[in-house]
Chains A and B, each alone.
Chain A
Amino acid sequence: MAAVTGWRRSGSSGAVDDLRRLAPPSPATVGSPRRTSSASGGGGAASNAVQVAMARLEDEFRHVLSSRALDLEIEALADLTSLSMCSDRTNSADVAEEAAAADEDDSVSSSVGRRSSYRSLRSIREIDLLPADAISDLHAIASRMAVAGYGRECVQVYASVRKPAVDSALRRLGVEKLSIGDVQRLEWEVLEAKIRRWIRAARAAVRGVFASERRLCFLIFHDLPLSSSTITTATHDAPFAEAVKGAALQLFGFAEAISIGRRSPEKLFKIIDLHDAIADLLPDVSDIFAASKAGESIYVQAAEIRSRLADAVRGILSEFENAVLRDPSKTPVPGGTIHPLTRYVMNYSSLISDYKTTLSELIVSRPSACSRIAPEGNENAPSFPDLDLADPDSQLPLAAHLIWIIVVLEHNLESKASLYKDAALSHLFVMNNVHYIAHKIKDSPELRGLIGDEYLKQLTGKFRLAATRYQRTAWLKILNCLRDEGLHVSGGFSSGVSKSALRERFKSFNAAFEEAHRVQSAWYVPDTQLREELRISIAEKLLPAYRSFLGRFRHHIENGRHPELYIKYSVEDLETSVTDFFEGCPPSLHNRRRSHG
């Protein structure tokens, strides 16, 4: 390098001295942004010397800019664990949230679950990219060149040296060169991880790298007479914009690719995270880029991407609602237990309520009219419940969506319930699922707050209705065996009990109960408390009735032949058998267990 430029470099101060020797500021050129028209015109030798000097200065500028750049720990800017470059506001609450155990029913993956804390740059942090003396040398060189009318060359060199440095910094932060096609081909779990990394990298890139680059450019160029035939208000930012534009577009390109991906429900929460991260960055992006024309387009693009992500959020929510509506009902879930769809939807809804801050801003319209009105050929579409007490003007659109989601879920569950051949099981299925829905709502204060107690009351009502129906369908016939009517041959109580009728009754009761016991033990009520309550309520009706029946009529049987054929069970036997109900496994296994225990 020294050979090319022909002068020895004796440190940066030597370079500045050489400057003064080679390109003395002539009176005609100082302060004039124009080219050295008068100075170079007649005096060919002088202007030649200037040109040669400028060429050397250009090289010197390049040399200082590239060789004096500081070795920075760029990666630390985005490092989740290292706090050295991060500002002090760490959020330990977020960490606790992240570590919290996921719902054991959680069919939504736990990485989608709670909001992760993205500990990275929270505000602009300008870092020194070069030492101060190098910067002042660069400023001196740039100002000589600008005054001599060679500002363009200087700007060119600046951009050509800083651009690869910026690109390299972004590479070190983990920003990848992914095309839209690449992003489309990747599995969502892979993309989720990339989104997490991207959020950290973007904060470091915008608030650290770009902010620092802008400052460097400012320090070198801000007060210089940079000539341009079209002076815009911010020519001084132009070198910075040029150095950074490609990297910035590449950075935001990833977020853009995510925003135009296919909309599927699993993506909702990560996309909200991405949206929020960009919304959070926009003010800083504006600060850093809005000054120059080239930079402005970056701000515009970032804002566009945020808007697209908002659209994607709305679209995904719609897609989710449709998916719940369309979930096919082919085979009934065994044992009438909680359907996986119910768990999925309630977990999803719970998460929606967790994200309600952003979602309340983004979801501005109620569920679309065309989904609510029964479309042609689909007479069975659910209709929006008449919640007179919920004033449409005061109810958040998000809340309306949540209620709609549950309405749609219930509607879908109805068709799933109709798959059961056994009506009692069908009712039990409804009980299980509605109970679960109500339970999840009560469990989450946010969800409950959004959905409201009015709707919760409706759910409870539905539950009770299903419970009543179950009882009637499953037990009416059995309990009818224990009635008085039809057993007495003449009018009075104490005289004339038809023994044959009585024997029939006992036989019917035994058969029916055994059948119920066999069948309903295989049914499943997952919620322990509900299971117990159900058993208790059965026992409450069954045992007194049987006790009373036995008390009244047993002596008739015991006085006859083979009483054991008819009175097979004591009240205690029945009581024990009831505990087999709703265990989800056949009673024979139970008996075997009990005999061991």
Chain B
Amino acid sequence: MPATDSSSAAAPLTSFGRSFLSHRRDQIPPPPPDHHSHSHTQHPSSSDLEIDAFHRHAADLLHDLLSDSNSDPSAPDLLSLAWTRRLLDSFLICLEEFRAILFALADSQPLSRPPLDRLLLDFLDRAVKALDLCNALRDGLDLIRQWRKHLAIAAAALAPAPAAQRGEAQIRRARKALTDLTILMLDDKDAGGVVGQRNRSFGRAGTTRDSLPHGHGHHRRSSSGGSSGSGSGSHLRSLSWSVSRTWSAARQLQAIGGGLTVPRANDIAATGGLASAVYAMGAVLFVVTWALVAAIPCQDRGLQAHLTAVPRTFPWAGPLITLFDRILDESKKKDRKHSCGLLKEIHQIERCSRQLMEVTDAAEFPLADDKDSEVQEATQELVQVCGSLKDGLDPLERQVREMFHRVVRTRTEILDYLSRPHNAG
């Protein structure tokens, strides 16, 4: 199994002693059998302490994700690639602790005893929905990789050549690549069900692209590529989603978070507090998958799903809701509303390519000095975006895959445990 690339996230994590906490958990022995006789109201049992620690740790992880560069200079920007990797790291840590707690307390709180068995099975059902999302997100990352390739062409055309060589040919080549990119991104917006702008004209770079597909509504691009002959734009519509036409990220999110009910007090008591841990894990699963869908392009990226009435008594409730709100705000911003993904780098792609197109629009050759420095500046940014994408996409994809693996493993372990004969209820 590919190891999680934690190199970029190492610093902030260990500064909070995160890995220390998870090691400490393994060293806490399960409570001795007679402990419960005097555990109730006077002194919290060690299992209560562990579960509390789990809640607080989840709160810490979510808090970290909210820190901005003012309070912590090393904190990545919200919804950037680096931030998204941190998000996934946090999820994996949380999941691992959840798993550890379940099995550490399994002797005193048998997982197969109601209501815990029902709660766990419900959680596992939701977790399975996340698996399809992981696969879809991997496709989305691949899409971004394709966009990056077009950017790289433009970058190769324009940089690092000195002014004398940034002639018409290079500009035209770059503009062609960026035009192709824009069409590509529009097409995927269409498939994502978000209405995008159409019928842009692109100036001198080539023929007008008025052969864009019209009236598609919910048209899903088939993979046959049958219209390859007409218009130069349609040939780029080859990156079909690998999910079926009816698959919807919004629906997956709804299945993950919908109906996640706050555990009742007697359920919490009956399960020694584990019911609240299961609830917390479900909430974390939801907010992480929701944020991923917000950031990364995928089919039917609706963000309407939300958790109902998370009780503020949980330490993680505040940061979770804040995180949710911040991302929701981002999605409503004017220039991001129609984006195919809220990932900061996607915004950068859009901005850079638009900027370069504007700067080179109706350019006269040879380029005037001031124009050329504008082009240089825009190129610089382009190169930077290319670089951060190249560095960031592959590790993120590996992490998404790791998330897949861990969810499967946790699910298998819990199901196996529930089905063993001496554990059957």
Contacts and interface: CB of A to CB of B under 8 A. Distances in A.
Contacts of A35: 156, 161
A422 interface: no
Given A370-B422, A378-B422, A311 B412 contact: yes
A157 B416 CA distance: 48
Interface stretch (A115-123, A171-179, A279-287, A453-461): A171-179
Contact of B408 (A44, A149, A260, A378): A260
Given A168-B224, A171-B223, A179-B247, A163 B421 contact: no
Interface string A163-192: 111011001000011111110100000000
A156 B167 contact: no
A245 B223 CA distance: 14
Contacts of B232: 4, 59
Interface in B186-214: 206-207
Interface string B124-165: 000011011001001100100000011011001000010011
Interface in A319-343: 319, 322, 325-326
Given A55-B176, A152-B153, A246 B139 contact: yes
Q: Is the interface of B mostly helix, strand, loop or mixed?
A: helix
B244 interface: yes
B161 A161 contact: no
Contacts of B150: 156
Contact of B206 (A40, A55, A227, A326): A55
B153 A153 contact: yes
Interface string B295-337: 0000000000000000000000000000000000000000000
A253 B135 contact: yes
A134 B149 CA distance: 26
Interface in B225-245: 225, 228-229, 232, 235-236, 238-240, 242-244
Interface string B165-190: 10111101100110010000000000
A50 B172 CA distance: 11
Given A4-B232, A164-B223, A48 B129 contact: no
Contacts of B415: 262-263
B421 A322 contact: yes
Contact of A315 (B138, B240, B416): B416
A37 interface: yes
B167 A44 contact: yes
Interface string B266-305: 0000000000000000000000000000000000000000
A326 B424 CA distance: 9
A93 interface: no
A164 B170 contact: no
Given A164-B223, A246-B142, A376-B422, A44 B168 contact: yes
A279 to B, nearest CB: 18
A585 B415 CA distance: 45
B1 A304 contact: yes
B243 A37 contact: no
B132 A167 contact: no
B238 A164 contact: yes
A375 B421 contact: yes
Interface in A13-63: 35, 37, 40-42, 44, 47-48, 50-51, 54-55, 59, 62
A54 B412 contact: no
Q: Which of A1, A157, A179, A250 gathers most chain B CB within 10 Å?
A: A179
A12 interface: no
Contacts of A47: 167-170
A487 interface: no
A249 interface: yes
B420 A370 contact: yes
A263 B411 CA distance: 12
Contacts of B149: 152, 156
Q: Say what secondary structure dominates the interface of chain A.
A: helix
Contacts of B238: 159-161, 163-164
Interface in A192-236: 227, 229-230
A376 to B, nearest CB: 7
A127 interface: no
A246 B419 CA distance: 36
A373 to B, nearest CB: 9
Contact of B228 (A51, A161, A247, A322): A161
Nearest to A253: B135
Nearest to A300: B2
Contact of A44 (B142, B206, B365, B412): B365
A136 interface: no
Given A152-B156, A153-B153, A156-B153, A40 B132 contact: no
Contact of B421 (A51, A300, A371): A371
Nearest to B130: A180
Interface string A62-106: 100010000000000000000000000000000000000000000
Contacts of B135: 179-180, 249, 253
B44 interface: no
A184 B128 contact: yes
Contacts of A157: 235
B177 A245 contact: no
A249 B165 contact: no
Contacts of A41: 164-165, 167
Contacts of A176: 244
Interface in A289-321: 300, 304, 308, 311, 315, 318-319
A304 B409 CA distance: 12
B31 interface: no
Contacts of B131: 180, 260
B12 interface: no
Nearest to B408: A260
A51 B168 CA distance: 9
Contacts of B412: 260, 311, 315
B235 A62 contact: yes
Contacts of B242: 177, 246-247, 249-250, 253
Contacts of A260: 128, 131, 408, 411-412
A263 B173 CA distance: 56
B366 interface: yes
A179 B243 contact: yes
Nearest to A66: B228
Contacts of A66: 225, 228
Nearest to B230: A1
Interface string B4-41: 00000000000000000000000000000000000000
Interface string A230-260: 1000000000000001110110010000001
B169 A50 contact: yes
Given A153-B177, A179-B243, A250-B242, A42 B164 contact: yes
Given A50-B169, A249-B242, A161 B235 contact: yes
Given A163-B238, A178-B244, A262-B415, A37 B161 contact: yes
Contact of B240 (A161, A164, A300, A376): A164
Contacts of B422: 370-371, 375-378
B421 A180 contact: no
B229 A160 contact: no
A375 B420 CA distance: 11
A40 B239 contact: no
A44 B132 contact: no
A164 B131 CA distance: 25
Contacts of A311: 412
Contacts of A249: 135, 138-139, 242
Contacts of A304: 1, 405
Given A152-B149, A179-B243, A181-B129, A48 B168 contact: yes
8 contacts: A40-B167, A47-B167, A48-B172, A150-B173, A300-B2, A322-B419, A371-B422, A375-B421
Given A47-B170, A182-B244, 15 more contacts: A1-B229, A37-B165, A48-B169, A48-B172, A152-B149, A157-B235, A165-B225, A180-B132, A181-B132, A181-B252, A246-B139, A246-B240, A260-B131, A304-B405, A370-B420
Q: Which 3 A-B pairs have the closest CB atoms?
A: A375-B422, A167-B223, A164-B225
